[in-house]
Amino acid sequence: MMRAGDYIIKQGKLLLENKQHAILCAIALSIIPFASWLSVALVVLITLRKGPGSGLEVLLPALVIHSVPLMILVPVESAIINTLIAYIPCFIAALSLRYSKNWQIVFGVFLFQAFMGFLLIQLMVPDFIATQFNQFKSLLGQFQEYKQLVASGTEGISSFILAQLFFGVQMLSVVVSATISLMFARSIQAKLFKPGGFKKEILEFRGGRISFLVLTGILLGSYYEIPCAINLLPLILFCFLMSGFNLAYFVLARKKQTRLIILLFLIIFLKPLIILFAFIVFGSLDSLFNFRLYLPVRVTEST
């Protein structure tokens, strides 16, 4: 029996060889509930391998078909915006990865897109962020079990900051979804054409000094309650969280101590705030000193 991974790789190869089949699959996946991320991943796979022209040939039909069911449920403007958010950020990130082969630049592209999204909303609908947060609070207030949680969670924090953070978390969710599709497509491409390349790219991911300067600026801006900085704060912290987690995985993977990796996940579940904060700190330090340059020698000596 063919393993699931081998089946996916085989299908990926077929889709790359047959453009019409790829378009039909992207369209079909775009209207299946909870499968639209696979449609995005398919668009990304074509873009990574064959370039923006071929990617657009698959992207445009998927965009149109994906928006049709949404137009039945929500206003046309909302359906179009949701569709564009689902596909366009990941498509742009795929182009940056194709030409740069650098995940640091990919994250920078995501950060820039989030910044532009914030600016567009501030220019076109400046009250949108506050309005949707108030609607969210009203919705939670209808449930008795959440009333006390909302009251205690907002104590001592202004509604303005909470609204900006809430919108920032929404931006982060879009980036995480796009990253999942992008990583899935990249892994298939690597297995087909460059085995081991995807793992090498991921293990080399770190923040970098420019990212650290951006983090410092966003932290300062958040302290002075600058809306854009507060919006981007969850996203930049997520970047350094992933950098710190990647550093931990790099160390443990080289030592081949699988039990320690499992233990690490257990500790995260038991003490999430402390461990996640530690990952952010380690990721920030790694962006300045690049511990990977020193770890291989030490690991070799210890094994």
- Tens of pLDDT, residues 111-128: 999 999 999 988 888 888
The pLDDT of residue 300: 40
Q: What is the pLDDT of residues 12-41, one digit of tens each?
A: 888 888 889 999 999 999 988 788 899 999
Least confident of 164-168, 281-285, 298-302: 298-302
pLDDT grade, residue 303 (50/70/90)? Answer: very low
Q: Tell me how far apart the alpha carbons of residues 43 and 87 are, in angstroms, rounded to a whole number.
A: 9
Token representation of residue 52: 């923006």
Per cent of the chain over pLDDT 90 is 44
pLDDT-derived band at 63 (thresholds 50, 70, 90) equals very high
Predicted pLDDT at 115: 94
Mean pLDDT computed over 66-78: 86
- Which class is domain 1-194? mainly alpha
- Give the model's pLDDT for residue 256: 54
Q: With 90 as the cut, is the pLDDT of residue 132 above it?
A: no
Q: Is the pLDDT at 172 greater than 80, yes or no?
A: yes
Q: Tally Cβ neighbours within 10 Å of residue 208.
A: 20
Q: Where in the chain is the domain with CATH 1.10.1760?
A: 1-194
pLDDT of 88 over the 90 cut = yes
Residue 146 has pLDDT above 60, yes or no: no
Rounded CA-CA distance 1/116 in Å is 48
Average pLDDT of 72-98?
91
Percentage of the residues of the chain whose pLDDT score is greater than 70: 87
DSSP for 255-272?
Answer: HT-HHHHHHHHHHHHHSH
Q: Show the tokens assigned to 115.
A: 């910044």
Query: Rounded distance, CA 20 to CA 303, Å?
Result: 52
Most confident region among 99-103, 122-126, 231-235 by mean pLDDT: 231-235
Average pLDDT, the chain: 84
pLDDT of 166 strictly over 60: yes
How many Å separate Cα 163 from the centre of its chain? 21
Q: What are 27's two structure tokens?
A: 């369209």
Task: Please enumerate in sequence order all residues whose Cβ is within 8 A of that of 252, keeping only pairs 6 or more positions apart, or say none.
Answer: 260, 261, 264
Q: What distance in Å separates the CA atoms of residue 247 and residue 206, rounded to the nearest whole number?
A: 8
Cβ contact 231:174 at 8 Å: no
DSSP string, the chain: ---HHHHHHHHHHHHHH-HHHHHHHHHHHHTSTT-HHHHHHHHHHHHHHH-HHHHHHHHHHHHHHHHHHHHHHS-HHHHHHHHHHHHHHHHHHHHHHHHH--HHHHHHHHHHHHHHHHHHHHHH-TTHHHHHHHHHHHHHHTSHHHHHHHHHHTTTS-HHHHHHHHHHHHHHHHHHHHHHHHHHHHHHHHHHHSTTHHHHHHHT----HHHHHHHHHHHHHHHTT-HHHHHHHHHHHHHHHHHHHHHHHHHHHHHT-HHHHHHHHHHHHHSHHHHHHHHHHHHHHHHHH-GGGTHHHHHHHH-
